[in-house]
């Protein structure tokens, strides 16, 4: 990891890691992990399927950059998608 | 996902597996199942397809290879219904990468989805492109994505995806995305109210601005506006505040974008920005909630970076340092870490060092932090902030820490301590103290460079000598001392022990016995140093002490039969010399002063450092070294002109005199011409020659016979003058030596000077070869006008990939070189290499080690295989014989090694005569194909300088070339890499090195061969 750094955070037994550029702001990414986990948390209460994780991630991060930082926006979007099923 | 029973069953099956093996079996079974289903297309309903593709994804997630079914996944993308399409998109973007051929098949579908009306499909398509879009996508989709981004009819949802999708396409292939005239569009986008779209657009802006900041200057005020809006918390919906902070990520991104603009010209914008920054700096406090804390500090650290970038007023800077000082004392390790790191960055900004120094004690406390990353940062910071005023404290602190530091940090730590001590020593005896303590505490981690350096200083400063000697003597009293310490002590006492003679316990005899006590425990490399010390002790004892002489002679006698050549040689030489009286005195006179040069330690540190530390090092080299060392040295330690600039620059073509003038500073002139051989001196210097120029180190390859006036070895084959004329840079290492070494191995350094290092790595298969040239810029500024041109000889086809014109600072570029051998020849390809450093043009002609032997493959034959073949080759021109004279004498096993080293395999026991060697190999070229080559060498035990060589193969040219090649190897012995020169004594009589005569025919019509011949 000479050119990148790994930022990770542990939630119980689960590690969330992001690999970011050496110049990126560490704390900002650390918190984005937390935001992601909060969003996941919201979903773990109702459903838990592997595709959901991908879907949420797709709404949250795209092309390696944060896309949406509003929890509500993501969750609304998720229920929208669910209706399509 | 409802009703997908098969998938749920499969997943629970996997979860129930007891062990990895059972899981693997289950996966294999499922993969087999899927495979059969995919084969049978008729019964494959979209539902089934979807189910199986999900399973594949699950298997892929478990870490198994899924190498089929990609087609099915891609085909699902074009399904009309959402569930199938969605699976297709997700699985495709997980399983395939941007270079996968199947993706091309999907491009049209993806495009249709993007330009279509269905918003959900647009999102899916944009997500796929954003995740794995490659060149094809950039070329065909970028305009559509751009349209979506600025379209007013799209929902924010689509537009933010479009922004990031475009970002991906732009990052991957900046040339394929047309962003001309986008500055205005970007500026409009930044007026966006929706913070989601704004976040994505700012990411895009960062990429665009980093590429070309001038074009986007209109976006600068917009970024400041965004920051103002967030900082004042105006028009920020509740959902975008994170633990009470208005979108910290957007703040960070906006500030990041601002850092790509060099300055802010407009005073009112600047003022507005500073107000925001001030608000951030003041308003951040350490709070209980971790998340809030992290988020606010993320913003704060970005603000700090921006402040540093903008070169703010001193007042603001000191405010920043004060904040950082607060951080390095908080409990939260992440913040402490970042505090230290940012403080190190802060050092780059002028004027704040004094403020930082106030926090020195806190930083030293961090050196004892339980977290190793924090300790490392603290070390870097201490190293960076050290100057004359605080060096003593810091270095002593480091020394103390050394005894408790973990092993992984000790080497770096001792190196840094040594450098600081050297640069900022208030006085020299302190420096000696520090280094000796360093060796004492962490001998294992003190590299040779460090003790070489202390020896250099002691040698160059007379005042220091008695002090160093008495210190060295003190350390010898310790029960257990490190071997490195023994080396330094022995060296110093050998040179300057006599200065202590009047002190108790320091007579030559006592010094000898205390040193000799340690001898049984030391390793081989230390023994020669001890022997030299003994010889010097003996020499300094005037009048001679017969008792001591007897003891020392006994030691020399004992080592005369030592298995290690170096030790043996020294023992013999010292013994002989010490009988000679006056000559002995001359040879063993005190070492002359070392020429000043840049500390090898600093160079080394520059190599070792990773990016995080670079700033500190850079800073380090800018600072003035302390006075103590400057006064003592004839030139400043860091002085720019390298003292070893080769004295003869043009006009001279005499390699002999080059070599001689190179060794001049080492006092060649001291030698009495009567003494056995000038080599002796360089031998004495050998292991001690610290950073010696290539000419004066000669330790290997010396047989015991040399004491009787054997040939003197003079460095430098004919290549030296050619290099010297062209270049004004000091070469590191000898090009000819490097070339010869590379002839026998496949990777290593081909060329090195202070700016660049060219390494080479090769793979050979049959008549093909693949070389990679690694060109590493050692500087912190770029090398420009880099050119590499191959001048191939007629028998090789060489294809060098283009070399970039510029090598960025500290970067390494690779350039593959394909080699194909067409027919046998000994000629060598030449690389004409040049670059500019500043305005200085440096060029070099380097031989490429694609020599004949690289196309040989070792082959061992039995006698049943060998002899029929040998007999079948009846005579010239397929089998050639020649008596070779002037061969470098070699024992048979050594000669066998030499042959094996260039892939001509010696087949032992085939020839009944033990003085003969028989060898075989296979040669590959396009014209000959794989061809068997056989060779026989008949040596004369009475005269090792001549032998009869017979070479045979199925091709006359090959036979001739191989014979000549072997002959060259036998005469010149490339391993020692010195051209053999008949014994001529040390006088100035120039003797032409025996260069191999290149075949004249090849010379005439082949530019490559012509050059190779010249080299």
Helices A26-44 and B290-310 sit at what angle, rounded to 10 degrees? Answer: 150
Give the domain extent around A35: 26-84
Nearest of B120, B168, B119, B162 to residue B144 by alpha carbon: B162
pTM exceeds 0.90, yes or no: no
- Would the pLDDT of B820 be above 70? yes
Alpha carbon of residue B80 to chain centroid: 54
ipTM: 0.80
Of the candidates B83, B203, B610, the beta carbon closest to that of A65 is on: B203
* CA nearest to A32 within chain B: B249
Return the SS3 of A50. Answer: helix
* CA nearest to B62 within chain A: A50
- Would the pLDDT of B984 be above 60? no
Of the candidates B87, B167, B242, the beta carbon closest to that of A65 is on: B167
What pLDDT does B3 receive?
A: 53
Chain B contact for A2 (CB, 8 A cutoff):
yes
- Contact criterion met (CB < 8 Å) for B164 and A70: no
Report angle CA B682, B688, B694 to the nearest 5 degrees. Answer: 55
Ligand-binding annotation for B51, yes or no, is: yes
Cα(B248)–Cα(B825) distance, rounded to whole angstroms? 68
- Would the pLDDT of B612 be above 50? no
pLDDT, tens digit (0-9, with 9 covering 90-100), for B494-536: 777 777 766 766 677 777 777 777 777 777 777 778 777 777 7
Q: How far is B159 from chain A (nearest CA, A)?
A: 10
pLDDT, tens digit (0-9, with 9 covering 90-100), for B889-921: 777 777 888 777 778 888 777 777 778 888 888
Of the candidates B160, B291, B298, the beta carbon closest to that of A28 is on: B298
**Around Cβ B279, how many Cβ atoms within 10 Å?**
15
Ligand-binding annotation for B47, yes or no, is: yes
- Chain A residues in contact with B57 by the CB 8 A cut-off are 50
User: How far is the CA of A45 from the CAs of A40, A41, B801, B995, in angstroms?
Assistant: 9, 7, 57, 83
Residues sharing a CB contact under 8 Å with residue B52, sequence separation 6 or more, in sequence order = B34, B37, B38, B69, B72
Token digits of residue B63: 């870490």
Q: Is residue A80 part of a domain?
A: yes
Ligand-binding annotation for B467, yes or no, is: no
pLDDT, tens digit (0-9, with 9 covering 90-100), for B228-263: 888 888 777 887 888 888 888 888 888 888 888 887
- Would the pLDDT of B997 be above 60? no
Q: How far is B978 from chain A (nearest CA, A)?
A: 40
What pLDDT does B724 receive?
A: 37
- Would the pLDDT of B677 be above 70? no
What pLDDT does B598 receive?
A: 52
| Residue the block writes with tokens 């929706």 | B194
Ligand-binding annotation for B185, yes or no, is: no
Residues sharing a CB contact under 8 Å with residue B27, sequence separation 6 or more, in sequence order = B14, B59, B62, B64
Q: Which residues pair with B774 in a beta bridge?
A: B759, B814
pLDDT band at B996 (very low <50, low <70, confident <90, very high): very low
Confirm if B543 and B529 have CB atoms less than 8 A apart.
Answer: no
Burial class (CB in 10 A: 0-12, 13-18, 19+), B1: middle
Cα(B479)–Cα(B517) distance, rounded to whole angstroms? 11
Task: Please report the residues numbered 34 through 53 in chain A whose beta carbons come closer than 8 angstroms to any beta carbon of chain B.
Answer: 34-35, 49-51
- Would the pLDDT of B819 be above 70? yes
pLDDT, tens digit (0-9, with 9 covering 90-100), for B57-83: 888 877 887 777 787 788 888 888 887
Alpha carbon of residue B382 to chain centroid: 25
Helix (H) or strand (E) holding B936: strand B929-939
Q: Is residue A11 part of a domain?
A: no
pLDDT band at B1002 (very low <50, low <70, confident <90, very high): very low
Q: Is residue A5 part of a domain?
A: no
Top residue of A62, A73, A82 to mutate, by most chain B CBs within 10 Å, is A62
- Chain B residues in contact with A25 by the CB 8 A cut-off are 252, 256, 298, 301-302
pLDDT, tens digit (0-9, with 9 covering 90-100), for B918-946: 888 888 888 887 888 888 888 877 777 78
Residues sharing a CB contact under 8 Å with residue B233, sequence separation 6 or more, in sequence order = B241, B246
Let me know how long chain B is.
1015
Top residue of B85, B242, B304, B810 to mutate, by most chain A CBs within 10 Å, is B242
List, as one string, the DSSP characters of B707-772.
GGTPPPB----THHHHHHHH--SPPSS-HHHHHHHHHHSSEEEEEE-SSEEEEEEEEEETTEEEEE
Q: Which residues pair with B845 in a beta bridge?
A: B832
- Chain B residues in contact with A50 by the CB 8 A cut-off are 11, 57-58, 61
Ligand-binding annotation for B5, yes or no, is: yes
Chain B contact for A8 (CB, 8 A cutoff):
no
pLDDT band at B718 (very low <50, low <70, confident <90, very high): very low
Q: Is residue A31 part of a domain?
A: yes
- Chain B residues in contact with A22 by the CB 8 A cut-off are 611
> Which CATH number fits the domain that encloses residue A43?
3.30.450.60
Q: Is residue A13 part of a domain?
A: no
Of the candidates B120, B161, B249, the beta carbon closest to that of A62 is on: B161
- Chain B residues in contact with A51 by the CB 8 A cut-off are 1, 54, 87, 90
- Which of the residue ranges B219-223, B326-330, B407-411, B742-746 would you say has the lowest mean pLDDT? B407-411
User: Percent of chain B beyond pLDDT 70?
Assistant: 77
- Would the pLDDT of B715 be above 70? no
- Chain A residues in contact with B611 by the CB 8 A cut-off are 2, 22
Instruction: Report the domain count for chain A.
Output: 1
What pLDDT does B574 receive?
A: 77
Token digits of residue B869: 């073949």
- Chain A residues in contact with B332 by the CB 8 A cut-off are none
Provide φ and ψ at B497, rounded to 5°.
Answer: -55, -35
- Chain A residues in contact with B120 by the CB 8 A cut-off are 81, 84
- Would the pLDDT of B8 be above 80? no
Q: Name the residue with higher pLDDT: B746 or B989.
A: B746
What pLDDT does B603 receive?
A: 59
What's the sign of the alpha-carbon dihedral B645, B647, B648, B654? negative
- Chain B residues in contact with A58 by the CB 8 A cut-off are 90, 127, 131
pLDDT, tens digit (0-9, with 9 covering 90-100), for B537-561: 777 776 667 777 777 777 777 777 7
Q: Is residue A71 part of a domain?
A: yes
Q: Name the residue with higher pLDDT: B614 or B110.
A: B110
Nearest of B961, B761, B916, B935 to residue B850 by alpha carbon: B761
User: Rounded to 10 degrees, what is the CA torsion of B664, B669, B673, B677?
Assistant: -40
Return the SS3 of B943. Answer: coil
Token digits of residue A46: 């109702």
What pLDDT does B633 receive?
A: 37
User: How far is the CA of B641 from the CAs of B604, B645, B692, in angstroms?
Assistant: 18, 8, 17
What's the sign of the alpha-carbon dihedral B318, B319, B321, B326? positive
Over residues B840-848, mean pLDDT: 80
Report angle CA B633, B636, B641 to the nearest 5 degrees. Answer: 120
- Contact criterion met (CB < 8 Å) for B164 and A65: yes
Q: Is residue A51 part of a domain?
A: yes
pLDDT, tens digit (0-9, with 9 covering 90-100), for B955-981: 888 888 888 888 877 776 544 333 333
- DSSP letter for B581, please: T
* CA nearest to B203 within chain A: A65
How many beta-carbon pairs below 8 A join chains A and B?
115
Cα(B774)–Cα(B715) distance, rounded to whole angstroms? 27
**Around Cβ B611, how many Cβ atoms within 10 Å?**
11
Ligand-binding annotation for B55, yes or no, is: yes
* CA nearest to A27 within chain B: B298
What's the sign of the alpha-carbon dihedral B996, B997, B1001, B1004? positive
User: How far is the CA of B813 from the CAs of A21, B174, B731, B807, in angstroms?
Assistant: 20, 20, 20, 7
* CA nearest to B132 within chain A: A63
- Would the pLDDT of B666 be above 60? no
What pLDDT does B280 receive?
A: 83
Mean pLDDT of chain A: 66
Cα(A8)–Cα(A10) distance, rounded to whole angstroms? 7
- Contact criterion met (CB < 8 Å) for B54 and A35: no
Q: Name the residue with higher pLDDT: B675 or B274.
A: B274
Q: Is residue A47 part of a domain?
A: yes
| Residue the block writes with tokens 């970005």 | B302
Confirm if B264 and B270 have CB atoms less than 8 A apart.
Answer: yes
Mean pLDDT of chain B: 72
pLDDT, tens digit (0-9, with 9 covering 90-100), for B620-632: 444 434 433 433 3
**Around Cβ B798, how many Cβ atoms within 10 Å?**
19
Q: How far is B41 from chain A (nearest CA, A)?
A: 25
Q: How far is A41 from chain B (nearest CA, A)?
A: 16
Q: How far is B84 from chain A (nearest CA, A)?
A: 10
What pLDDT does B663 receive?
A: 37
pLDDT band at B337 (very low <50, low <70, confident <90, very high): confident
Top residue of B88, B193, B240 to mutate, by most chain A CBs within 10 Å, is B240
Cα(B266)–Cα(B269) distance, rounded to whole angstroms? 5
Alpha carbon of residue B820 to chain centroid: 29
- Contact criterion met (CB < 8 Å) for A28 and B338: no
User: Percent of chain A beyond pLDDT 90?
Assistant: 0
Q: How far is A83 from chain B (nearest CA, A)?
A: 11
User: How far is the CA of B887 from the CAs of B52, B907, B970, B973, in angstroms?
Assistant: 73, 22, 6, 9
Q: Residue ranges of the alpha helices (H) in B347-463?
A: 353-357, 360-366, 372-385, 391-402, 407-424, 428-442, 448-460
Q: Name the residue with higher pLDDT: B340 or B691.
A: B340
Provide φ and ψ at B28, rounded to 5°.
Answer: -60, -40
Q: Name the residue with higher pLDDT: B539 or B223.
A: B223
Nearest of A84, A20, A60 to residue B121 by alpha carbon: A84
- Contact criterion met (CB < 8 Å) for A31 and B195: no
pLDDT, tens digit (0-9, with 9 covering 90-100), for A4-42: 667 777 766 667 777 777 667 777 777 777 777 777 777
- Chain B residues in contact with A55 by the CB 8 A cut-off are 90
- Would the pLDDT of B107 be above 70? yes
- Chain A residues in contact with B90 by the CB 8 A cut-off are 51, 54-55, 58
- Contact criterion met (CB < 8 Å) for B120 and A30: no
* CA nearest to B207 within chain A: A65
Helices B220-231 and B267-283 sit at what angle, rounded to 10 degrees? Answer: 30
């Amino acid at each position: 990891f000479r050119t990148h750094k790994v930022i990770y955070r542990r939630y119980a037994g689960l590690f969330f890691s992001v690999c970011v550029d050496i110049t990126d702001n560490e704390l900002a990414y650390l918190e984005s992990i937390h935001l992601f986990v909060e969003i996941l948390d919201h979903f773990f209460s109702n459903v838990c399927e592997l595709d959901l994780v991908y879907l949420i991630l797709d709404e949250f991060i795209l092309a390696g950059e944060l896309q949406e930082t509003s929890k509500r926006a993501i969750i609304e979007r998720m229920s929208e998608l669910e209706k399509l099923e | 996902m409802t009703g997908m029973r098969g998938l749920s069953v499969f997943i629970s099956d996997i979860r129930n597996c007891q062990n990895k093996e059972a899981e693997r079996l289950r996966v294999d079974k499922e993969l087999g199942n899927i495979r059969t289903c995919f084969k049978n297309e008729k019964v494959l309903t979209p539902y089934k397809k979807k189910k199986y593709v999900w399973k594949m994804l699950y298997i892929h997630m478990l870490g198994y290879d899924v190498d089929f079914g990609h087609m099915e996944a891609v085909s699902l993308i074009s399904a009309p219904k959402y569930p199938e399409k969605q699976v297709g998109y997700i699985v495709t973007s997980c399983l395939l990468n941007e270079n996968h051929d199947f993706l091309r098949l999907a491009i049209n579908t993806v495009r249709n989805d993007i330009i279509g009306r269905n918003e959900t499909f647009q999102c899916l398509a944009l997500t796929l492109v954003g995740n794995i879009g490659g060149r094809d996508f950039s070329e065909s989709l970028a305009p559509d994505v751009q349209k979506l981004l600025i379209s007013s009819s799209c929902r924010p949802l689509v537009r933010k995806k479009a922004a990031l999708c475009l970002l991906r396409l732009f990052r991957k292939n900046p040339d394929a995305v047309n962003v001309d005239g986008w500055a205005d569009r970007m500026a409009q986008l930044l007026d966006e109210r929706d913070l989601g779209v704004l976040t994505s657009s700012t990411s895009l802006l960062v990429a665009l601005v980093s590429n070309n900041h001038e074009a986007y200057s209109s976006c600068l005020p917009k970024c400041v506006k965004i920051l103002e809006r967030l900082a004042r918390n105006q028009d920020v919906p509740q959902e975008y505040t994170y633990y009470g902070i208005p979108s910290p990520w957007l703040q960070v991104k906006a500030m990041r974008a601002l850092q790509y603009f060099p300055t802010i010209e407009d005073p009112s914008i600047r003022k507005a920005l500073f107000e925001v920054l001030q608000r951030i700096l003041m308003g951040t406090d350490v709070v209980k909630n971790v998340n809030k804390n992290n988020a606010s500090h993320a913003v704060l650290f970005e603000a700090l970076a921006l402040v540093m970038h903008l070169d703010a007023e001193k007042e603001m800077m000191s405010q920043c340092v004060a904040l950082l000082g607060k951080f390095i004392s908080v409990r939260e390790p992440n913040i402490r870490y970042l505090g230290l790191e940012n403080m190190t960055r802060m050092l780059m900004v002028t004027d704040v060092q004094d403020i930082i120094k106030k926090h020195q004690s806190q930083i030293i406390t961090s050196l004892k932090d339980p977290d190793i990353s924090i300790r490392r940062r603290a070390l870097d910071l201490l190293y960076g902030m050290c100057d004359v005023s605080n060096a003593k404290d810091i270095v002593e602190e480091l020394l103390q820490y050394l005894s408790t530091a973990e092993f992984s940090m000790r080497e770096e730590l001792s190196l840094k301590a040594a450098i600081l001590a050297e640069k900022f020593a208030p006085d020299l005896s302190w420096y000696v103290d520090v280094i000796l303590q360093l060796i004492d505490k962490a001998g294992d981690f003190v590299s040779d460079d460090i003790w070489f350096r202390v020896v250099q200083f002691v040698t160059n400063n007379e005042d220091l000598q008695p002090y160093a000697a008495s210190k060295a003597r003190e350390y010898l009293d310790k029960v257990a001392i490190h071997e490195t310490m023994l080396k330094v002590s022995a060296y110093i006492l050998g040179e300057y022990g006599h200065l202590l003679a009047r002190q108790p316990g320091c007579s030559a005899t006592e010094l000898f016995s205390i040193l000799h006590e340690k001898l049984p425990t030391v390793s081989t490399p230390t023994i020669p140093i001890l022997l030299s010390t003994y010889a010097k002790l003996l020499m300094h004892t005037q009048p001679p002490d017969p008792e001591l002489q007897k003891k020392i002679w006994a030691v020399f006698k004992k080592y005369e039969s030592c298995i290690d050549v170096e030790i043996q040689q020294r023992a013999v030489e010292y013994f002989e010399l010490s009988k000679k009286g006056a000559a002995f005195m001359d040879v063993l006179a005190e070492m002359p002063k070392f020429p000043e040069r840049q500390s090898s330690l600093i160079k080394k540190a520059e190599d070792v450092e990773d990016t995080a530390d670079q700033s500190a090092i850079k800073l380090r080299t800018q600072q003035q070294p302390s006075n103590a060392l400057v006064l003592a040295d004839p030139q400043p330690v860091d002085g720019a002109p390298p003292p070893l600039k080769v004295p003869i620059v043009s006009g001279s073509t005499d390699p002999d005199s080059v070599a001689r003038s190179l060794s001049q500073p080492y006092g060649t002139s001291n030698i009495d011409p009567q003494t056995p051989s000038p080599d002796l001196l360089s031998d004495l210097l050998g292991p001690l020659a610290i950073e010696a120029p290539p000419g004066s180190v000669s330790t290997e390859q010396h047989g015991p016979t040399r004491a009787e006036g054997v040939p003197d070895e003079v460095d430098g084959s004919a290549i030296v003058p050619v290099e010297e004329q062209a270049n004004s840079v000091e070469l590191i290492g000898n090009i000819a030596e490097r070339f010869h070494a590379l002839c026998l191995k496949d990777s290593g350094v081909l060329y090195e000077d202070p700016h660049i290092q060219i390494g080479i790595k090769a793979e050979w298969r049959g008549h093909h070869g693949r070389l990679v040239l690694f060109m590493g810029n050692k500087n912190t500024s770029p090398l420009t006008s880099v050119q590499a041109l191959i001048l191939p000889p007629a028998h090789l086809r060489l294809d060098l990939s283009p070399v970039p014109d510029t090598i960025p600072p500290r970067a390494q570029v690779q350039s593959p070189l394909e080699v194909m051998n067409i027919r046998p020849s000994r000629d060598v390809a030449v690389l004409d290499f040049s670059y500019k450093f500043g305005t200085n043009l440096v060029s070099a002609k380097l031989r490429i080690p694609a020599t004949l032997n690289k196309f040989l493959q070792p082959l061992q034959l039995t006698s049943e295989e060998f002899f029929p073949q040998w007999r079948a080759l009846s005579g010239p021109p397929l089998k050639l014989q020649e008596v070779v004279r002037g061969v470098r004498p070699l024992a048979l096993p050594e000669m066998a090694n030499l042959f094996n080293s260039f892939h001509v395999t010696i087949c032992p026991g085939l020839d009944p005569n033990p003085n003969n060697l028989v060898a075989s190999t296979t040669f590959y070229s396009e014209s000959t194909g794989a061809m068997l080559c056989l060779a026989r060498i008949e040596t004369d035990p009475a005269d090792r300088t001549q032998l009869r060589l017979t070479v045979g193969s199925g091709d006359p040219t090959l036979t001739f070339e191989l014979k000549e090649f072997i002959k060259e190897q036998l005469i010149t012995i490339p391993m020692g890499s010195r051209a053999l020169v008949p014994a001529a004594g040390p006088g100035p009589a120039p003797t032409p090195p025996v260069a191999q005569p290149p075949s004249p025919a090849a010379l005439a019509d082949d530019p490559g061969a012509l050059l190779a011949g010249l080299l």
